[in-house]
């Protein structure tokens, strides 16, 4: 029999059969997929990425207070993903809905490394100063590694590529590989005024897993979007767009959204925060959009600017903390699970 099979095939059969003996029990954790939890932190951000090997990156920590509500929800997502530690926590910027939850999170679950854009630049704002100082106290314990990220860098997260595209108001200067086309959406676009808050300082990343591309720019504002996207699109197209600034203006300009042309966009809005009709319209009209998902029904959006119920993690009424979860394969196919409906929608590879 051996003589009839090419050597490689025989070796594969042998190792497969040996593998069956070695790992007799089925291994449900032997995943090949990337999992992404869009944790409901009520209009803040907290997005947990877990690679097939169980390495993890959390982008933002939600709000402070609320008896540790956001840390509890992040820990529940980590538990669901089968991890006991978060390897990297990336703080996009120093606003309470992003970094505010960091001390409670660190008290709840072990963290390896914090990544941020450096100093707080909104020193005239008491809220930003307060959450930045609390975060600095956490770093000063010496328990964590710390990285100050710069545009263009690839962060040391294994199992997926995390490339920094914006940090501390600086942006990548050259187009990413495969990007660099003239952006037709820039025509007639007017650049929004310069924003002086922490938002335009957001640490933004393009995350690549096999063929899948995911863009997360935190609360990056329209002025920076235009620099990044006009006249040349430096990002290219993406599969999944973590909607900037919870779907609030002045972020999510048409010049950016229609050029990155996401297949799926997910808004981390709250019932009363983000999900503005103007930002929502831009996404809905984006070329190639297959689905828009929202963490919450937006009161601001009303009957005309909210997605249909199956695409909403949380409906009107009392807070139930439902999340959305993306499971993605390296070929670029993925699915979105709604923890409220327990329904899953599949998206085939391009
Ligand atoms: Zn925010």
Close Cβ partners of 190 (under 8 Å, ≥ 6 residues apart): none
How far is ligand 1, taken at its centre, from the CA of residue 333, in Å?
A: 29
How many whole angstroms from 99 Cα to the centroid of ligand 1? Answer: 10
- From residue 24, alpha-carbon distances to 16, 17, 18, 27, 33 in Å are 12, 10, 10, 9, 22
How far is it, in rounded angstroms, from Cα 55 to Cα 280? 33
Distance 198 CA to ligand 1 centre (A): 10
Euclidean distance between CA atoms 136 and 225, whole angstroms: 28
Q: Is residue 1 over pLDDT 60?
A: no
Compute the distance from residue 224 Cα to the ligand 1 centre, in Å: 16
The mean of the pLDDT values for the chain is 93
Q: Which of 169, 91, 99, 102 has its CA nearest to residue 128?
A: 99
pLDDT, residue 30, reads 64
Write the pLDDT tens digit of every residue in 107-152.
999 999 999 999 999 999 999 999 999 999 999 999 999 999 999 9
Distance from residue 269's CA to the centre of ligand 1 (Å): 9
Rounded distance between C-alpha atoms, residue 275 and residue 269, angstroms: 6
Tokens 């990044």 locate to: 228
pLDDT attached to residue 255:
97
The Cα 174–Cα 210 span in angstroms is 22
* Model confidence, pTM: 0.91
- Residue 5 has a pLDDT of 42
Rounded Cα–Cα distance for residues 298 and 316 (Å) = 8
Spacing, Cα 116 to ligand 1 middle (Å) = 15
Counts of helices then strands in the chain (DSSP H, E): 7, 18
- Bigger pLDDT: 15 or 106? 106
Chain position carrying tokens 């600034």: 245
> Does 7 score more than 70 pLDDT?
no
**pLDDT digit string, tens, across residues 144-183:** 999 999 999 999 999 999 999 999 999 999 999 999 999 9
Contact 265, 237 (CB under 8 A): no
Average pLDDT for 308-314: 98
pLDDT tens digits, residue range 192-244? 999 999 999 999 999 999 999 999 999 999 999 999 999 999 999 999 999 99
Per residue in 13-41, is it b (16+ CB within 10 Å) or e — as a string? eeeeeeeeeeeeeeeeeebebbbbbbbbb
111-116 vs 145-148, strand pairing mode: parallel
Q: Could you tell me the distance, in angstroms and rounded to a whole number, from the CA of residue 22 to the centre of ligand 1?
A: 48
Does residue 4 have a pLDDT over 50? no
Give the Å distance between the CA of 20 and the centre of ligand 1: 48
Mean pLDDT of 96-113: 98
Q: Rounded to the nearest whole angstrom, what is the distance from the C-alpha of residue 95 to the centroid of ligand 1?
A: 7
Centre of ligand 1 to C-alpha 248, Å, is 9
CA of 304 to the centre of ligand 1 (A): 24
For ligand 1, a single-atom ion, the residues with CB < 5 A are 97, 219
Dist. CA 197 → ligand 1 center (Å): 11
Give the Å distance between the CA of 245 and the centre of ligand 1: 5
């Amino acid at each position: 029999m051996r003589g009839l099979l090419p050597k490689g095939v025989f070796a594969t059969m042998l190792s497969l059969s040996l593998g069956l003996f070695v790992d007799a029990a089925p291994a449900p954790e032997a995943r090949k997929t990337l999992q992404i939890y869009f944790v409901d932190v009520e209009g803040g951000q907290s997005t947990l990425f877990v690679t097939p090997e169980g390495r993890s990156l959390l982008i933002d920590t939600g709000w402070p207070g609320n008896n540790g509500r956001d840390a509890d929800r992040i820990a529940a997502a980590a538990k669901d993903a089968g991890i006991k530690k978060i390897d990297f926590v990336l703080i996009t910027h120093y606003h309470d809905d992003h970094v505010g939850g960091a001390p409670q999170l660190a008290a709840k679950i072990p963290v390896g490394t914090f990544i941020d854009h450096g100093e707080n630049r909104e020193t005239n704002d008491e809220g930003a100063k307060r959450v930045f100082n609390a975060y600095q106290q956490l770093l000063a314990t010496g328990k964590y590694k710390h990285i100050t990220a710069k545009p263009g860098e690839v962060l040391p997260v294994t199992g997926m590529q995390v490339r920094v595209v914006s940090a501390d108001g600086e942006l990548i200067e050259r187009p990413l590989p495969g990007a660099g086309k003239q952006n037709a959406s820039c025509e007639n676009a007017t650049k929004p005024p310069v924003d002086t808050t922490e938002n335009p300082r957001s640490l933004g990343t393009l995350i690549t897993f096999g063929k899948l591309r995911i863009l997360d720019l935190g609360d990056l504002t329209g002025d920076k979007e235009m620099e990044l996207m006009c006249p040349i699109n430096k990002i290219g197209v993406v599969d999944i767009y973590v909607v900037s600034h919870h779907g609030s203006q002045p972020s999510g300009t048409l010049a950016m959204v229609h050029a990155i042309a996401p297949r799926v966009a997910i808004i981390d809005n709250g019932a009363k925060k983000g999900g503005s009709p103007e930002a929502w319209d831009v996404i809905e009209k984006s070329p190639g959009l297959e689905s828009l998902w929202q963490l919450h029904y937006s009161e601001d959006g009303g009957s005309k600017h909210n997605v249909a119920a199956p695409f909403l993690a949380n409906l009107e009424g009392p807070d139930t903390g439902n999340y959305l979860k993306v499971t993605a394969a390296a070929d670029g196919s993925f699915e979105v699970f709604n923890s409220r409906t327990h329904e899953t929608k599949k998206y085939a590879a391009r």
